[in-house]
Amino acid sequence: MFVVTLTYLAELDAIDEAMRRHVAYLKKGYAEGVFLASGRQVPRTGGVILAAAIERSELERRIQEDPFVSEGLAEAAIVEFTPSQTAKGLERRRGGRQMLSAGTRMSRR
């Protein structure tokens, strides 16, 4: 399982202009069963995506396709973890490595 954090590099006007493209990207990830939850950080300095059912290398590739990242509006950090406890209904999403992996930072500048 992965936690992806997006940190905005651009002003909110530029983020808002790209939001429809970003939401379309997210909808594709949900439809494919990869994204479990997503939303804005508070305060609004970026966003968070919870992902599963994917190899890290594939997630890294997909994150580069996020318009926020590909257009240089945000950088992404990925933290991989193995859930040891989950809420009811998420048990089937467990899996992955036994140890916490170091975060990976990605940006296009």
pLDDT of residue 97: 36
Report yes or no on 94 lying in a domain. Answer: no
Which CATH number does the domain housing residue 68 bear? 3.30.70.1060
pLDDT of residue 55: 96
Q: Smallest Cα–Cα separation from 71: which of 79, 80, 63? A: 63
Q: What angle do CA 107, 57, 2 make, to 5 degrees?
A: 80
Q: Which domain holds residue 71?
A: 2-79
pLDDT of residue 108: 52
Report yes or no on 93 lying in a domain. Answer: no
H helices of 1-109, in order, are: 12-31, 56-65, 67-70
Q: What is the pLDDT of residues 60-100, one digit of tens each?
A: 999 999 999 999 999 999 999 998 988 887 666 555 433 33
Report yes or no on 75 lying in a domain. Answer: yes
Report yes or no on 88 lying in a domain. Answer: no
